[in-house]
Amino acid sequence: MEKYFSLRKNNDLYVYTIVNAGFYEGKQAAIAIEMMQNWAEKAKLKWGQGIGIGGGGMMSMISNSTDSKGTMKDVHIALTHLAENILTCKTADEIYTSPGIPRIVYKIGGEMGWRQSAKKQGLKTKDLFKMK
Protein backbone atom coordinates (compact mmCIF):
# COMPACT_ATOMS: atom_id res chain seq x y z
CA MET A 1 0.00 0.00 0.00
CA GLU A 2 2.87 2.36 0.75
CA LYS A 3 4.14 1.97 -2.81
CA TYR A 4 0.68 2.47 -4.30
CA PHE A 5 -0.01 5.67 -2.39
CA SER A 6 3.53 7.05 -2.75
CA LEU A 7 3.27 6.79 -6.56
CA ARG A 8 -0.02 8.70 -6.71
CA LYS A 9 0.21 12.30 -7.88
CA ASN A 10 -2.58 13.69 -5.71
CA ASN A 11 -2.48 12.46 -2.15
CA ASP A 12 -5.14 14.55 -0.48
CA LEU A 13 -6.16 11.52 1.52
CA TYR A 14 -6.26 11.59 5.30
CA VAL A 15 -5.62 8.67 7.61
CA TYR A 16 -7.75 8.34 10.74
CA THR A 17 -7.18 5.52 13.19
CA ILE A 18 -9.15 3.88 15.99
CA VAL A 19 -7.33 1.46 18.28
CA ASN A 20 -9.53 -0.50 20.67
CA ALA A 21 -7.26 -2.06 23.26
CA GLY A 22 -8.06 -4.53 26.01
CA PHE A 23 -6.05 -2.49 28.49
CA TYR A 24 -7.95 -0.23 30.88
CA GLU A 25 -6.07 2.86 29.72
CA GLY A 26 -6.61 4.02 26.16
CA LYS A 27 -3.14 5.60 26.31
CA GLN A 28 -1.76 2.05 25.91
CA ALA A 29 -2.74 2.39 22.23
CA ALA A 30 -0.29 5.25 21.67
CA ILE A 31 2.38 3.06 20.04
CA ALA A 32 -0.11 1.51 17.61
CA ILE A 33 -1.34 5.00 16.67
CA GLU A 34 2.25 6.16 16.20
CA MET A 35 2.84 3.21 13.87
CA MET A 36 -0.11 4.34 11.76
CA GLN A 37 1.26 7.90 11.71
CA ASN A 38 4.59 6.57 10.45
CA TRP A 39 2.85 4.48 7.79
CA ALA A 40 0.83 7.49 6.63
CA GLU A 41 4.00 9.54 6.32
CA LYS A 42 5.81 6.84 4.31
CA ALA A 43 2.77 6.46 2.06
CA LYS A 44 2.75 10.25 1.62
CA LEU A 45 -0.72 10.57 3.10
CA LYS A 46 -1.94 13.24 5.49
CA TRP A 47 -2.40 12.34 9.13
CA GLY A 48 -5.86 13.10 10.45
CA GLN A 49 -6.26 11.80 13.97
CA GLY A 50 -6.01 8.74 16.17
CA ILE A 51 -8.22 7.55 18.99
CA GLY A 52 -7.10 5.05 21.63
CA ILE A 53 -10.01 3.37 23.37
CA GLY A 54 -9.29 1.56 26.62
CA GLY A 55 -11.42 -1.17 28.11
CA GLY A 56 -11.85 -3.11 24.90
CA GLY A 57 -12.68 -6.23 26.85
CA MET A 58 -15.98 -4.79 27.98
CA MET A 59 -17.00 -3.25 24.67
CA SER A 60 -18.93 -6.30 23.51
CA MET A 61 -21.00 -6.22 26.68
CA ILE A 62 -22.06 -2.63 26.21
CA SER A 63 -21.87 -2.33 22.43
CA ASN A 64 -25.63 -1.79 22.12
CA SER A 65 -25.34 1.40 24.11
CA THR A 66 -25.60 4.52 21.97
CA ASP A 67 -25.74 6.57 25.12
CA SER A 68 -23.57 9.60 25.55
CA LYS A 69 -23.70 8.93 29.29
CA GLY A 70 -22.26 6.38 31.68
CA THR A 71 -19.52 3.95 30.73
CA MET A 72 -19.63 4.93 27.04
CA LYS A 73 -19.59 8.71 27.53
CA ASP A 74 -15.91 9.36 26.72
CA VAL A 75 -15.92 6.91 23.80
CA HIS A 76 -19.04 8.58 22.40
CA ILE A 77 -17.43 12.04 22.66
CA ALA A 78 -14.19 10.83 21.03
CA LEU A 79 -16.00 9.13 18.14
CA THR A 80 -18.17 12.22 17.60
CA HIS A 81 -15.04 14.41 17.33
CA LEU A 82 -13.42 11.91 14.97
CA ALA A 83 -16.51 11.79 12.74
CA GLU A 84 -16.62 15.59 12.55
CA ASN A 85 -12.93 15.70 11.61
CA ILE A 86 -13.36 13.04 8.93
CA LEU A 87 -16.31 14.88 7.38
CA THR A 88 -14.40 18.17 7.27
CA CYS A 89 -10.94 16.70 6.45
CA LYS A 90 -9.43 18.24 9.57
CA THR A 91 -6.54 17.09 11.66
CA ALA A 92 -6.62 16.99 15.44
CA ASP A 93 -4.67 15.75 18.42
CA GLU A 94 -5.02 12.15 19.48
CA ILE A 95 -7.73 11.29 22.00
CA TYR A 96 -7.35 8.54 24.58
CA THR A 97 -10.29 7.23 26.59
CA SER A 98 -10.72 4.83 29.48
CA PRO A 99 -13.91 3.11 30.64
CA GLY A 100 -16.31 5.15 32.74
CA ILE A 101 -15.95 2.70 35.61
CA PRO A 102 -13.30 2.33 38.31
CA ARG A 103 -10.26 0.33 37.29
CA ILE A 104 -10.88 -2.30 39.99
CA VAL A 105 -14.41 -2.93 38.66
CA TYR A 106 -12.98 -3.42 35.16
CA LYS A 107 -10.38 -5.85 36.52
CA ILE A 108 -12.94 -7.86 38.49
CA GLY A 109 -15.21 -8.00 35.44
CA GLY A 110 -12.34 -9.31 33.34
CA GLU A 111 -11.52 -12.00 35.86
CA MET A 112 -15.17 -13.05 35.99
CA GLY A 113 -15.17 -13.24 32.20
CA TRP A 114 -12.17 -15.59 32.19
CA ARG A 115 -13.85 -17.87 34.71
CA GLN A 116 -17.13 -17.94 32.78
CA SER A 117 -15.28 -18.72 29.56
CA ALA A 118 -13.36 -21.54 31.25
CA LYS A 119 -16.58 -22.99 32.65
CA LYS A 120 -18.16 -23.01 29.19
CA GLN A 121 -15.13 -24.99 27.99
CA GLY A 122 -15.61 -27.57 30.74
CA LEU A 123 -12.77 -26.29 32.91
CA LYS A 124 -12.72 -25.33 36.57
CA THR A 125 -11.22 -22.16 38.00
CA LYS A 126 -8.23 -24.09 39.38
CA ASP A 127 -7.49 -25.31 35.84
CA LEU A 128 -6.66 -21.71 34.89
CA PHE A 129 -3.70 -21.79 37.24
CA LYS A 130 -2.21 -25.17 36.30
CA MET A 131 1.21 -25.19 34.71
CA LYS A 132 1.95 -27.75 32.00
DSSP 8-state code for residue 128: G
Residue 73: the pLDDT is 86
Compute the distance between CA of residue 54 and CA of residue 69 in angstroms, rounded to an integer. Answer: 16
Q: Is residue 2 very low, low, confident or very high in pLDDT (cuts 50, 70, 90)? A: low
Structural domain spans, the chain = 2-100, 102-132
Q: What percent of the chain has pLDDT over 90?
A: 45
CA distance 70 to 40: 34
Sorted by sequence, the CB contacts under 8 Å of residue 75 that are 6+ apart come out as 53, 97
pLDDT digits over 83-99, tens only?
Answer: 999 999 999 999 999 98
**Could you tell me how far CA 48 lies from the centroid of its own chain?**
16
